[in-house]
Amino acid sequence: QQPVQSPQAVILREGEDAVINCSSSKALYSVHWYRQKHGEAPIFLMILLKGGEQKGHDKISASFNEKKQQSSLYLTASQLSYSGTYFCGTEAWQSGGSNYKLTFGKGTLLTVNP
């Protein structure tokens, strides 16, 4: 099952903040965040692991609530370049580790206007 993302779309003015949420019905091993601009390949933003480890960009932050199987991506002081579709991907927890199956949500379209 795909993780559920919210909101589906958000419009900001430059400098405003945004939060994108991702939730799963399964116990999670990791949560991934990617951004895709129209007509381009998705690019990596962040990985959050069960246990608290994070890998990603300095200018983007995210949280992972392991008990609730939820993650949030925080975009602060947004820039025009932040525009795009944001996807969360989840790996389920299985037999003490990952099930190695990365499943993505439907995406959140972020538009930043001048």
Distance of alpha carbon 11 from alpha carbon 6, whole angstroms: 13
Question: Toward other proteins, which CB reaches closer, 8 or 81?
Answer: 8
Using rule CB under 8 A, residue 49 touches other proteins? yes
Using rule CB under 8 A, residue 72 touches other proteins? no
CA distances from 54 to 6, 7, 37, 46, 58 (A): 22, 23, 24, 7, 11
Question: Toward other proteins, which CB reaches closer, 14 or 94?
Answer: 94
- Cβ pair 101, 77 in contact under 8 A: no
Give contact residues for other proteins (rule: CB under 8 A): 2, 5, 29-30, 32, 34, 40-44, 47, 49, 55, 87, 89, 91, 97-98, 100-107
